[in-house]
Structure 1
C-alpha cells in the first residue's frame, strides 16, 4: 500500500508521466469497453478503424509536431502554427475516411462522420506539443485528463448501440473539449520558424514513422482485409493490456524529447548520451519482467472477453510483448540519435527493421496463413530492433565522446546560437527549471 502511495505521489509531481498514464488509461478503457460490448466481428472492425485513426495521428505528429520540438533544442521559435495543424488534421481525416471505405466499414455517411471525428485528435496533439515547448506541462496532463473522462462516459454510447464507427467517431469528437480549453489557456508564439527551415529532418522522421508502419500497423490492416482471424483481435487487445509498458516507453520518450529540447541539464552531448543510455537500460529490464508476468497471469487465469478468447490473447501477448519491449528499449537510443542530429541513420535503421519484419510477415502468410504471418513478423521485429538501433548508437556515442563528431557543424552551430539569442528575448520560454525543480520531470 505504501509503495502504491509513493508511486501515486511521484506521478502527481511529474505532469508528463501523469499525462501518459491518463492517455494510456483512456486508450485501454476504450478498447476494453469495445471488447466487452461488441461481438467478435464488430470488435475486429473497431480495432481496424481505431488502428487507422491512431496511425494518422502518428504520421502527422512525426512530420509536423515532434520535429518542431526537437528543433526547439537549438531554435526557440520552432513551433507548428495553426494553419499547419489544420492542414494536417484535414489530411488525416481524409485518410481515415478513405481507409474506412477501402476496409468496407459501411455507407458513405459513416465515413463522413469518421472524417469529422478524426480532426480533433490531431488538433489536441498539436496543442499538447505546443504546451511542452512552452513548458506548460500541466496543461498537457489536463487535456489528457479530460479525454479520460470522455472515455469513461463512453459506455453510454455502447449500451444504446455497440457500433464500431459510431464509437470511434465519439472518441474523436469528444476531444473538441480539451482542444477549445487549450486554445484559450496556451499563449501564442511570438515568432515561428517555417517548416521549410527543417523540412529535411521532418521528412526523415515522417519516413521513419511511415516505414515503421510496415512493421505492425499495415500488416494488421492488410491481413484483416485478406481474411478473418481471431488472432487479429487478440493482437489488438494484447496491445491494450500492454498499455502500462507502452505508457512507460511513451512517457520516457516524450520526456527525453522535451527535456533534451528545453532543459539546461541536457544541453551537453555527454549528459544527453548518459541520460539516454541509463534510461534505455533501466526500461529494458523492467519490460522483460512486466511482459513475462502479464503473459503468465493471463495464461494461468484463462482470462477472456466476449470479443477475444484466451488462446489468441495469450499468443498475442507473447508476440506483441516481445516486439514491444525490444522496440521500446532500442527506440530510446533512436531518440537520442535524433536529438544529436543523426536523422538519416535512424531512418535507415528503421528501413532495415521493416524490411526484415515485412519479409517475415510475407513468408509466414505464404507458409501458414494469417496467424503464422503475425507470429513471424512480430518475433522477427523483436530480434532485429536492437541490431538496427543500438549497434549504430553505440558507435556514434563512442565517436561523440572522442570528439570526432559534434551535434552541429561549425557553421550550423553558429547560426543556431544566433537564432537562440535572437528568439529568447521574444520567447516566453526563458529560465526553464532543471530536473531538480519541484513539479518538473
Structure 2
C-alpha cells in the first residue's frame, strides 16, 4: 500500500473507531433510563481503561516493528493470540467475582466479562494491520463494526437494562472480529504463535502501561481532587472545554498509536525525525485553527453543545487551545522518541505529568479556574520542550535506529 493511502486509511480508521465510541453512548443514553445509563457509562468506563491498558501493553510495542519479515508477521499473530488469552482470563475473573455480587451494575460488569475477549481482540487486530501496512483492512473491519453495533443497539427496546445493552454491544463486534481473524490469518499463515516473549520482564509494554496510567490518571485525578476541596465549577469548566477538543484527541491517538508504521517507512533516522517535526507543526496549526473556530461560535450554538457550562468553558478556550497546540508538539515528540529509543519516554511522562499537577494546583491557587487552565497549558509546553530536547540529543548522538528496540518491544530480545 502506498504511504499516502495508508495515512488516509489510518486516520479514517481512527475516526470510525472514535465515532463508534461516541454513538454507542448516544444510542445507549436514548434507550436507557437515567439510572441504567449511569450503570452503562460506568461499565463502559471500565472497558475504556482495559482497552487503554491492552493497547499500551500489546499494541503500541507491536507497531514499533519494521518490515514485513516472518518475525514481524509472527509477532502480529502472537499479539492477537496473547490478547485473546489474557482477555479471556480477565473476563472470566470478572464474571466469577461479579456474579457473586448483587445489583444491576454487577450484572452489567458480568456481561462485560463475557464479551471482553471479543472487543479487545478486535482492537489488537487494528494494531496488527497497521504493523503489516494493511490499514485498509482495519478500516473495513471497524466500518463493519460501526454498522453492526448501531444496528444491534437500535433494535433494543426503550428501557433496556444496562446488562442487556452491554452484551448486545459486545457481541455485535463478532462480525468485525471474524473478518479481522480471516484477514490476519491469511497474512500471517505459517508463522508460530509465541506468547512467552510477551510475558518477559524486558517487554516494552510494561513501560507503556505505566505511561498510560500516569499520563491519563494523574491529571484527571488532580482535577477531581481540586473540584472536591476547592470549587466544583473547576471540574465542569475544564471538562467542558476539553470535550470541545475531542476531535483532536482522535488525531493524537492516531499519531502515537498508528504513526510508527507509517513514519518507519522512511529510510533514515533524519528523515523520520523531520517527518515527525512536520507532523507536529500540522497538528499544532490544526489545534490553533480548531480553537479559533470554537471561539467564533455564537453563544446559542455553544449553549446547545454544553448548556450552562458554555460561558465558563468559552472563557477557557484561549488557554485550552494553547494547551492542545502544545500537546500536539509534545505528542509528536514522544512519537519521535518511540522511533529513536522507546525506553526514553517513561521518565518524561512521569516527571511532566507530576509537573502538570503542580502547575494546575499553583494556577488554581493564583488565578482560580482560569489559572488552572493556564497551568495545564504550561505543563504541556514544558513537556513538549523536554521531548524535543531529548529527540535532538538522540539524533546528534547517532543512536541506533528502530530495529534493535523493536525486537525488545515485542519481547524477542534476550
Instruction: Give TM-score, length-normalised by structure 2.
Output: 0.76
Task: Report the equivalent of 2:183.
Answer: 185
Q: Which residue of 1 aligns with 2:75?
A: 78
| Pair 232,28 (structure 1): closer, same or farther in 2 beyond 3 Å | farther
Please state if 1:329 is matched with 2:326: no
Match of 2:399 among 406, 410, 426: 406
Give the drift of 1:82. 4.1
The structure with more helix, counted as a fraction of residues: 2
d(CA) in 2 for partners of 1:384, 1:98: 42
2:112 matched to 1:109?
no
SS of the aligned residue for 1:304 comes to: helix
Q: Could you say if the C-alpha distance between residues 415 and 147 of structure 1 is closer, same or farther in structure 2, counting changes exceeding 3 Å?
A: closer
Aligned equivalent of 2:87: 89
Paired position in structure 2 for 1:210: 213
Segment of structure 1 superposing worse, 349-358 or 376-385: 376-385
Shift in alpha-carbon separation, 1:159–1:357, aligned structure 2, 3 A: farther
TM superposition shift of 1:18: 1.8
1:234-264 per-position Cα deviation (integer Å, ceiling 9, x unaligned): 8767666534222322333344212244x2x
Task: Report deviation, 1:25.
Answer: 1.8
Return closer, same or farther for 1:81/1:31 CA change in 2, 3 Å cut-off: closer
Deviations 1:369-392 (A, max 9, x none): xxx79x877653332123224334
- 1:153 is matched with 151
| 1:199 alignment counterpart | 202
The number of aligned residues is 391
Distance 1:274 1:161 in 2: 53
Q: 1:385 to 1:91 in 2, by over 3 A?
A: farther
1:170 to partner: Cα distance: 3.3
Cα distance between partner residues in 1 of 2:239 and 2:38: 9
Aligned equivalent of 1:135:
133
Shift of 1:363: 7.8
Please give the secondary structure, in 2, of the residue aligned with 1:70.
coil
TM-score if structure 1 supplies the norm length?
0.72
Q: Note closer, same or farther for the CA distance 1:198–1:322 as it changes in structure 2 (3 Å cut).
A: farther
Bigger drift between 379-388 and 313-322 goes to: 313-322
Aligned to 2:346: 347
Alignment check: 8 A CA contact 2:58 2:205 kept: yes
Whether 1:385 aligns to 2:380 is: yes
Could you tell me how far 1:329 is from its partner in structure 2? 3.0
Task: Provide, for residues 271-327 of structure 1, a one-character-per-residue CA deviation record: whole Å limited to 9, x for no partner.
Answer: 11000001001110111221332354274424437xx63416962984766654433
- Distance change >3 Å, CA 135–CA 359, structure 1 → 2: same
Say whether the 8 Å CA contact 2:104–2:162 is kept in structure 1.
no
Contact 1:235 1:312 in 2 (8 A): no
Structure 2 gaps, min length 5:
none
Counterparts of 1:270 and 1:175 in 2: how far apart (Å)? Answer: 41
User: For residues 190-237 of structure 1, what are the alpha-carbon distances to aligned partners after superposition, in whole Å with 9 as ceiling and x for unaligned?
Assistant: 145632568342221121112112234556888999999798678767
Report if the CA contact (8 A) 1:60-1:88 is conserved.
no
Q: Secondary structure at the match of 1:172?
A: helix
Moved more, 164-173 or 380-389: 164-173
Answer yes or no: is the 8 Å Cα contact 1:231–1:313 preserved in 2. no
State which drifts further: 281-290 or 157-166. 157-166
Counterparts of 1:349 and 1:340, CA distance in 2: 15
The 1-side partners of 2:311 and 2:204 are apart by 38
Q: Distance in 2 between matches of 1:97 and 1:224?
A: 34
Query: Higher mean Cα deviation, 137-146 or 171-180?
Result: 171-180
Partner of 1:199, secondary structure, is coil
Distance 1:386 1:169, change over 3 A: farther
Q: Is the 8 A contact 1:26 1:148 kept in 2?
A: yes
User: How far 1:148 sits from its partner (Å)?
Assistant: 1.7
- Deviation per CA, 1:159-179: give whole Å up to 9, x if none: 512655544443333222211
Report the Cα distance in structure 2 between the residues aligned to 1:214 and 1:117, rounded to whole angstroms: 25
Q: Which residue of 2 aligns with 1:4?
A: none
Q: Given the alignment of the two structures, is residue 397 of structure 1 paired with residue 392 of structure 2, yes or no?
A: yes
Partner of 1:280: 280
Aligned to 1:69: 63
Hey, what's the Cα distance between the residues in 2 that align with 1:334 and 1:277?
Answer: 11
